[in-house]
A and B are shown apart, each in its own frame.
Chain A
Amino acid sequence: MRCASPLLPLRGAQVKRWRVMITAKLNHLLRSLPEAEWERWEPVLEQVDLPLGLVLYESGRPLSHVYFPTTAIISLLYVMENGASAEIAVVGNEGIVGVSLFMGGETTPSRAVVQSAGKGYRLSAERMKAEFNLAGPVLHLLLRYTQALLTQMAQTAVCNRHHSLDQQLCRWLLLSLDRLHDNKLIMTQELIANMLGVRREGVTEGAMKLQRAGLISYRRGHITVLDRAGLEARSCECYAVVKKEYDRLLPAVTAL
C-alpha cells in the first residue's frame, strides 16, 4: 500500500493503523464510534474475508465473534428443523452481525451466511460483551440498531405472508443494493431461493420478468440493477418501511 502523504513517511505499524481506520470505517457503526471507543477498538478489530456462502454462525451455537461488514452483505436466516430456511433480515455496512450476544444470549436464533462476498471486521465475543457492559455510547448505538433489526424482522414476517414473490424479490434486491458500493450483485438464483424460502423456478421466473421489464440484467450469477426507481415502484411497501425505520432510529449512522 502506498502512502498518500509524501510528507509523512509511515512505518509498518502506522500503515496498518491507517488502513484499518480507512477500511473499518466503511462500516457505519464503526464510523460512528466516538474517538475514545475507536482508540480502544482499533487494535483489536480484525479484518476478515467474507466469501459468498460462508456461514458465520449456525443457529443454536455459541457466538465467538461479532462481525461488522464493510463491503460484504450477510443474510440472517431462520432454519427450520427440516432444514428449510427463510431470510429474516440482511445486514451490510450499516450494521453488526451477532446482536444476540449483548442481549444475554450466548447463542443466536438464526444462521448467518454471506450473501454477497466482500470484507468485514470482527471483534471477539468477550471483548464485545465487555464494551457493551461499559454502558457507554456504544451501548446506545447498538441497542438502537437492535430495535431497527427487530423492525426488519417483523416486517419480513408480514411480507412473507402478504406479498407476492415478485414484490419480495424487488424488496430483497433494493435492500441488497443499499448495502453495496455499486449496482452489481454476485448471486445465484439458488441462493436467492434459499433466502426467500421459495423454489428456484419461482425466482427464475421473477428475475426474468424483471429483466424483460429492463429493471435488471441477470447473467450467470451476476445481477446488475439497471433501473432502481423501477424496482422501487414494483417492490411492496416493506422496503420503504424498513429503510425509514433505519433512518429514523440511526440518523447519524444512515446519513454517512
Chain B
Amino acid sequence: MPDSPNQLLSQLPKASRRRLDALGQIVELRFSETVGTAGNPTDAVLFPNDGFISLLAQVDGGHAIEVGMIGCEGMLGIQLALGVSTEPLKALVQGPGHALRITAAAFRRELQADPALRAMVNRYVYVLFAQHARAAACLRFHQIEQRLARWLLMSHDRAQADRFRVTHEFLAYMLGVRRVGVTLAAGALQRRQLISYDRGEMTIVDRAGLADAACSCYASDQAAYAEQFG
C-alpha cells in the first residue's frame, strides 16, 4: 500500500488507512470555496492530499482573522473527535487541490472503533491548539511584514509549488489588516527579492530569506508539529 499523500493518514497503521480510504472519496477543493461555516452542522471531514484550507474566526459580521491553516499535513473537522458536530470556524479553500472526504457519521464510527485513529486525531488537536494560541499572540505583537512572510511560508509548504494565486485583498482579509498595509509589506518583501508578485500570482523566490523575515511563530508551529508527528 503506497503512503497516503496526506501526512496524518500516512501515520496510521495500514488497516486503519485502508478502512478510511474505503469509507471516503476523493473530492476536489476549489479555489475560494467555503467548506465550513461557523455554527453549521459538520457533514464530513477532509484530509487534503494537496491544496490547503484556511480557518477563519470572524467578528462584527465581516472582519476575519486566519487562526489556522490545513493542508496535506492535517485534517478539517477535528471537532467530531471532540464530540461536537457543528463547525467552529469558517473554512475557506485557499489553494486548490484534492482531499479525502469522509462523512461525519462514518468518521465518528471509525473514531469509536479505532484507537490508533483516535490517538492520531488527538495529537493533531494539540497541534491546532498550539496554532490557535500562537495566532492570538502573533496578531498582538508582530508586524505585518513578519506575519505576511509567515503566511507565505505556511502556504508555500502546503501548496507544494513555488507559485500560487492570491490577491492583496484576500491577504488583507486573512491577516486582518487594510489592503494598503499588505501592499506595502509585499512591496518590501519583493524589493528584498524574497518574493515576486504579478497580477494575483505569488512566486516564492528566496525561501530561506523569507524564513528570516518571518516572525518566530512559523518555526514554533513547525516545532509543535514535529513534536507530535516528526
Chain A residues in contact with chain B, CB under 8 A?
Answer: 76, 78-81, 84-88, 99-100, 102-105, 107, 109-110, 140, 143-144, 146-147, 150-151, 153-163, 197, 236-238, 241, 249
- Chain A residues near B60: list those with CB within 8 A: 162, 236-237
Q: Do residues B136 and A88 form an inter-chain contact, with CB atoms below 8 A?
A: yes
The contact size tier of chain B is 35 or more
Interface: B227 (CB within 8 A): yes
Which residues of A are found within 8 Å of B119, using beta-carbon distances? Answer: 104
Q: What residues of A have a CB within 8 angstroms of the CB of B176 in the complex?
A: 158, 161-162
A197 to B, closest residue via Cβ: B140
| Contact (Cβ within 8 A) A150 B59 | no
Judging by beta carbons under 8 Å apart, are A88 and B59 in contact? no
B168 on the interface (CB 8 Å rule)?
no
The answer for the CA separation of A124 and B55 in the assembled complex, in Å, is: 34
Q: Decide yes or no: A158 and B57 within 8 Å by CB, A88-B133, A144-B83, A147-B88 being known contacts.
A: yes
In the bound complex, residues from chain A placing their C-beta under 8 Å from that of B133 are 76, 78, 88, 109-110, 153
* Cα distance, A102 to B81, chains bound together (Å): 13
Identify which of B82, B126, B136, B141 contacts A100 (C-beta below 8 A).
B126
Give me 19 A-to-B residue pairs in the complex whose CB atoms sit less than 8 angstroms apart, sorted by A's number.
Answer: A76-B133, A84-B141, A86-B136, A100-B129, A103-B126, A104-B122, A105-B123, A109-B134, A109-B224, A140-B83, A144-B82, A147-B79, A147-B84, A157-B67, A157-B132, A159-B59, A162-B59, A162-B60, A238-B59
Give 6 new A-B contacts, CB below 8 A, not counting A104-B119, A158-B57: A78-B137, A80-B216, A103-B129, A143-B82, A154-B55, A249-B84
User: Is B29 an interface residue when CB atoms closer than 8 A count as contact?
Assistant: no
Interface string of B129-146 (1 = CB under 8 A from A): 110111111011100000
Interface residues of B, dominant DSSP? helix
Contact A158 B128 (CB under 8 A): no
Query: In the assembled complex, which residues on chain A have CB atoms less than 8 Å from the CB atom of B88?
Result: 147, 150-151, 154
Asked if B89 lies at the interface with its beta carbon under 8 angstroms from chain A, I say yes
Q: Which of A81, A110, A151, A160 contacts B140 (CB 8 A)?
A: A160
Which residues of B approach A to under 8 Å, CB–CB?
55, 57-60, 63-65, 67-68, 79, 81-84, 88-89, 119, 122-123, 125-126, 128-130, 132-137, 139-141, 176, 216, 224, 227-228
Chain B hits for A103, CB < 8 A: 122-123, 125-126, 129
Measured in the bound complex, the distance between the Cα atoms of B128 and A88 in whole Å is: 14
Interface centre among B119, B122, B136, B139 (most CB of A within 10 A): B136
A161 to B133, CA, bound (A): 14
Q: Chain B contacts of A144 at CB under 8 A?
A: 82-84
Instruction: Find chain B residues with CB under 8 A from A151 CB.
Output: 88
**Contact, CB under 8 Å: B140 / A150:** no
- The answer to whether B135 touches A157, judged by C-beta atoms less than 8 angstroms apart, is yes
Smallest distance from the beta carbon of B131 to chain A beta carbons, Å? 9
| Chain A residues near B57 (CB-CB < 8 A) | 154-155, 157-158
Q: Given A157-B132, A161-B65, A163-B59, are A86 and B137 also a contact pair (CB < 8 Å)?
A: yes
Interface centre among B63, B67, B81 (most CB of A within 10 A): B67
Nearest-Cβ distance from residue A112 to partner chain B, whole angstroms = 12
Note all chain A residues with C-beta closer than 8 A to B84. Answer: 143-144, 147, 249
User: Nearest 7 pairs between A and B by C-beta?
Assistant: A78-B137, A109-B130, A103-B126, A161-B176, A157-B136, A158-B57, A104-B123
Q: How far is the CA of A69 from the CA of B133 in the complex (A)?
A: 21
How many angstroms between the C-alpha atoms of A155 and B55 in the bound complex? Answer: 12
Instruction: Please give the distance in Å from B37's CB to the nearest CB on chain A.
Output: 14
Q: Which of A150, A162, A197 contacts B128 (CB 8 A)?
A: A150
Q: Is the CB of B136 within 8 A of A162?
A: no
A110 and chain B: residue at smallest CB distance: B133
Identify the closest chain B residue to A87 (Cβ).
B136
**A154: B residues at CB distance < 8 A:** 55, 57, 67-68, 88-89, 132, 135
Q: Are B139 and A153 in contact (CB under 8 A)?
A: no
Known: A103-B125, A105-B126, A197-B141. A158 touches B132 (CB 8 A): no
Asked if A237 and B59 sit within 8 Å, CB to CB, the answer is: yes
Provide the bound-state CA to CA distance between A78 and B141, in Å: 11
